[in-house]
Amino acid sequence: MNHIILKNMINTQKYIRDNKEKFLSELFQLLRLPSISADPKYSKDVVATAEMVRNNLEKIGLTNCKLFETDGFPIVYGEKIIDSNLPTVLIYGHYDVQPPDPIDLWKSKPFEPEIRNEKIYARGACDDKGQFFMHVKAVESMISAGELCCNVKFMIEGEEEIGSENLEIFVKNNKQLLSSDVILISDTGIISNDTPSITTGLRGLSYVEVEITGPNRDLHSGLYGGAVANPINILCDMVSSLHDEKRKITIPGFYDNVEILSKSEREIMAKAPFNIEKYKEELDIKDVLGEKEYRTMERNSIRPTLDVNGIWGGYTGEGAKTVIASKAYAKISMRLVPNQSSDEITKLFKKYFESIAPAGVKVKVTPHHGGEPYVSPLNEKGYKAASKAMNKTFGKEPIPVRSGGSIPIVALFESELGLKSILMGFGLDSDAIHSPNEHYGLFNFYKGIETIPYFFKYFAEK
Ligand code: BES
Ligand code: MN
Ligand code: MN
């Protein structure tokens, strides 16, 4: 296998330099399709995107390229098996995107990609079309240069943003097809363009919708106000009682299994560069807020949280209407950390939330999709290969970082396939994923394409 080890990716890097414009215009085509998985109005576009991804895989020389139909959107698959003695890298990503709303706040149209100050502006530019596409182009480059040194499989799904429920079934039923040595994913970020990092943890998720019902109809707030429970007032009371004065979550048992990091682990974390003043300035806030005794970068990564994502009820139209609404609603997410279980936490939430409601209202708690947290050790072959690859292209050793975000399928890859995932993403927190004006730096797009071949090289070396 010596001939493989000698492959130093020089021809691959030349191919990348020579094809930068082509890569970008191909990405633009993908970004033009509104593959919004959450909105049934766009289901044709989501399927068209799957087909475009499949065609892209075929065009770069992969075999067995196909769409696997599911009860939802198709899963795109393609592979190149060059030698059964070589390791196999399974690349995962998602071609679906978040809805672009609020549309008015976009400077350019979300599905008409545009370059401004060296950044690609479009929904999905960073999350995750721009990022999974780096793998397609990196593999194309290695194949064209005759330097592909691992077998490779692609699995790109269309339901990540809505919980990956059909992918879960697909993974359970296709273990042989997906057999590989490591999973490589670019759907996370780095600390900054001059501070590379690798994501070593993701938080899990419990997501619930709550409905508070008071009187059987909307009431005149003068005739009935003060005499009956107002569901909106009550919902606000209940929501605010979910945190105490130290910003700890009050649900009994919520912290029971939370992994506690040692002092030295926390000290290592604190060494990662972070400027609280810049952070506040960037968000235009006077101060941060979170759980006492934890740093900002711990609050959003190694600690569990509870947040209202949406709250509604009553009159929200023009002018004033004096009314006590019959119902009030909220959507609530809880981010979970290692050793918390999504089902368990959802149950604890439901039990507690029902218990704190006054007798004057009825409570309904409806659980949504969830996911388990994930951590990956630093002594894995895959982590080391990613670290060496980033060191090579950034000229600096990447810092391991636990992320606050969630990719629920990653924990399932581990439990079902027995495979660790390497989260080598190239986005920035400031890329505005899920927000208006999502963007992805040209620097990041090309840096990813350059780095991925080195991952293959170092992963192939024993
Ligand atoms: N790619 C993100 C997750 C992410 C982004 C992790 C940046 C770490 C850093 C993914 O597409 C996403 O948005 N996940 C959702 C969960 C899903 C169940 C909707 C999330 O984290 O809210
Ligand atoms: Mn994503
Ligand atoms: Mn996302």
For residue 411, the domain's CATH number is 3.40.630.10
Burial 12-45 (b: 16+ CB within 10 A, else e): bbebbeebeeebbebbbebbebbbbbeeeebeeb
Query: What separation in Å is there between the alpha carbon of 232 and the centre of ligand 3?
Result: 30
Considering the domain architecture, whether residues 131 and 49 belong to the same structural domain is answered as yes
Are 436 and 327 in a shared domain? no
Residue 1, pLDDT score: 46
User: For position 364, which CATH number holds?
Assistant: 3.30.70.360
- DSSP state string for 389-445: HHHHHHSSPPEEEE-S---THHHHIIIII---EEE---B-GGG-TTSTT-EEEHHHH
Whether residues 21 and 159 share a domain: the answer is yes
Q: Which helix (H) or strand (E) holds 46?
A: helix 43-59
| 301 touches ligand 1 (CB under 6 Å) | no
Residue 330 counted as domain residue: yes
Shortest-distance ligand to the CA of residue 368? 1
The tokens describing 101, both together, are 């709303």
Other Cβ atoms within 10 Å of 241 Cβ, number: 12
Number of domains into which the chain is organized = 2
Residue 266 covered by a domain: no
Looking at the domain assignment, is residue 213 inside a domain?
yes
Q: Which of 370, 392, 411 is the last residue of a domain?
A: 370
* CB of 373 shorter than 6 A to ligand 1: no
Helix (H/G/I), strand (E/B), else coil: 307: strand
Q: Are residues 164 and 126 in the same domain?
A: yes
Domain assignment present for residue 297? The answer is: no
The first and second tokens of residue 202, run together, are: 């993701």
Identify whether residues 345 and 241 lie together within a single domain.
Answer: yes
Verify whether ligand 1 is closer than 6 Å to residue 438 (CB atom).
no
Do both 166 and 209 map to the same domain? no
Q: Are residues 37 and 169 in the same domain?
A: yes
Regarding whether 125 and 69 lie in a shared domain, the answer is yes
Q: Are residues 342 and 417 in the same domain?
A: no
Give first-to-last CA distance, the chain, whole Å. 10
164 lines ligand 1 (CB under 6 A): no
Using the 3D structure, point to which of 350, 370, 390 is the last residue of a domain: 370
Q: Residue 49's pLDDT is what?
A: 98
Q: How many helices (H) and strands (E) does the chain have?
A: 14, 18
Rounded CA-CA distance 311/300 in Å is: 22
**Which stretches of the chain score pLDDT less than 50?**
1-3
User: Ligand 1 centre from 160 Cα, in Å?
Assistant: 8
Residue where a domain stops, chosen among 332, 350, 370? 370
| pTM for the structure as a whole | 0.94
| CA 165 – ligand 1 centroid, Å | 15
- Same domain? For 18 and 121 the reply is yes
List the domain range (segments joined by +) for residue 434.
2-202+373-460
- Note whether residue 283 is domain-resident: no
Q: What is the pLDDT of residue 6?
A: 60
Whose C-alpha lies nearest to ligand 1, atom 18? 163
Residues 18 and 75 in one domain: yes
| Ligand 1 touching residue 26 (CB < 6 A) | no
Q: What is the mean pLDDT of the chain?
A: 96
409 in ligand 1 pocket by Cβ < 6 Å?
no
Q: Which residues contact 131 (CB under 8 A, 6 or more apart)?
A: 93, 186, 187, 425, 426, 427, 440, 448
Give the three-state DSSP class for 213.
strand
Task: Specify if 279 maps to a domain.
Answer: no
- Residue 156 belongs to a domain: yes
Residue 211 lies in a domain: yes
Residues 354 and 390 in one domain: no
